Structure 1
């Protein structure tokens, strides 16, 4: 194997890694599957990643990486010219690390919390209220990121991997319109990323209704 294989699903976190791989100039093949649907694709994914989640990345040497933040750091090491992760000497690196991990550890998991309320023993009668509560909490969590952003940038003008998360995750619940209403600065950042020619096609394919 001479290139990466990115296993992903339309509209999911694999889009974050796809943006990073495009920016890095990595040679890769995208294998899109409906990762939650039972069948051969799901079975293969579970063999590679016991959590059955995307993104799952098969490395050129055949080993497997999971977790989007880990993949981001690997790509930054493998393709240093991309510079979407600040170097160890960059004064912005501590803030970048803080907010990248905040997005991954605090905001990202709330998406799965409300995917299937039955997983948490939430009754049918309370499931919608539960989803709405989680969605509101997600917006509140994004609000702390909004406070740090300026009108067009996050931690300076240089494109960073955090931009990839913002551009993708704004489409997730409670949806792009609610995100824009509550988070105008992050919306402006996401809009700028979406207009970049190297990313426009990826985002339109993953979010065709946007």
Structure 2
């Protein structure tokens, strides 16, 4: 495995999204499995990710953390994979828009719901949290994935991978309500060869860990 690209992850983490992205990119990479707890808090790993969390990526000396940032970085670092509209392409705007809509409003709204945090029904309070309400976020997301095959430029991109991952995970575990538009959208993504490879790798790692 190449030391040019090192992927720090845990198979039961958002690292599963990055694993899928790496498999889409199709380059060689080395995986470092980080255990939760003390292993992630060691000074050596904190030098890579000060928050002591996964995933993280080191590519030829460049460190990238935060899942959406890693996906965007990989799309640009490996343009031959065609995972982002080219700079100057008008669809680049939609690509950035929905990639970071997933990383911002979707993640924040869904996390708050899981924690039982309710945004008061007050326009000033909604403005403070940025995303408004979970219902508004889910409606916007439904509009984004309806009436088009992919989010940007009529072809699969890192934005679809990231947003689709949140929808798959959220609907599976009940943190995002199931809607026909979501189901139709993720059905176009879930059986991609890279998605299947990534899922197989991480599921196998989970099974091996459970066996001791």
Q: TM-score, normalised by structure 1?
A: 0.73
Q: Report the alpha carbon displacement of residue 168 of structure 1 after superposing the two structures with TM.
A: 2.0
Aligned to 2:26: 25
Cα distance change of structure 1 residues 204 and 181 upon mapping to structure 2, 3 Å threshold: farther
In the superposition, relative to structure 1, how do residues 181 and 107 fare at CA in structure 2: closer, same or farther (>3 Å)?
Answer: closer
> What does the per-residue CA deviation read over 1:93-130, in whole Å, with 9 as the maximum and x for residues that have no partner?
11111111111122224465577x6xxxxxxxxxxxx1
1:168 partnered with 2:162: no
1:3 aligns with 2:42: no
Change (3 A) 1:92 1:150: same
Mark the runs of 5 or more structure 1 residues left unpaired by the alignment: 118-129
The verdict on how the C-alpha distance between 1:169 and 1:88 changes in structure 2, with shifts beyond 3 A counting, is same
Q: CA deviation at 1:55?
A: 1.4
Query: Which segments of structure 1 move beyond 4 Å, counting only runs of 4 or more?
Result: 110-115, 137-140, 177-181, 204-209
Q: 2:71: which partner in 1?
A: 72
| Deviation of the 1:178 alpha carbon | 4.2
Give 1:1-210 correspondences, 5 Å limit.
Answer: 2-34=3-35, 37-43=36-42, 44-61=44-61, 63-110=62-109, 113=112, 130=116, 133=118, 138=134, 140-150=136-146, 152-173=149-170, 175-176=171-172, 178=174, 182-206=178-202
1:57 Cα offset (Å): 0.7
TM-score normalised per structure 2: 0.73
Aligned counterparts of 2:46 and 2:155: Cα–Cα separation in 1: 37
What's the Cα RMSD here? 3.1
Q: How many correspondences in the alignment?
A: 189
**Kindly tell me: are residues 172 and 46 of structure 1, through their superposed partners in 2, closer, same or farther at Cα, counting changes over 3 Å?**
farther
SS of alignment partner, residue 47 of structure 2: helix
Give the CA deviation at 1:27.
1.6
- 1:104 alignment partner, SS class: helix
Alpha-carbon spacing, 1:204–1:150, altered in 2? closer, same or farther (3 Å): farther
